Amino acid sequence: MSDCLHCDINELVQKHIEGGTDDLVEIASMMAESLADLVLLAPEAERANLLAHAISVVGHMILEKSGAFEGGSRASCLKVESGGVHRKGHW
């Protein structure tokens, strides 16, 4: 376990894939359910905004990590990246 939740989640997913579960649709469904559970932890009045934020970040990160932004500097886990342990391109 690292000190970055994002990296920890990626590590778990990687182990899942290595364990033979290579159905990315199934994995995405499970992760989406986890996100739904997280949104439901928020007060009801804040859930719509939190979901909108999460969806926005998903889209932004896919664009950023696929190189759509020239010189993009917004990192998902600056703290860990600056420590040099953040791994990019898990898959």
Asked if 6 is part of the footprint of Zn ion (rule: CB under 5 A), the reply reads yes
Minimal distance in Å, beta carbon 55 to Zn ion?
Answer: 19
CB of 7 to Zn ion, least distance (A): 4
For residues 23 and 33, give the distance between their C-alpha atoms in angstroms, rounded to a whole number: 16
H or E stretch at 74: none
Query: How many Å apart are CA 69 and CA 60, to the nearest integer?
Result: 10
Q: Residue 90 and residue 76: Cα distance in Å, rounded?
A: 14
Asked whether position 7 contacts Zn ion by CB under 5 A, the answer is: yes
Q: Which of residues 57-86 bind Zn ion (CB under 5 A)?
A: 77, 80, 86
**Is 13 a binder of Zn ion (CB under 5 A)?**
no
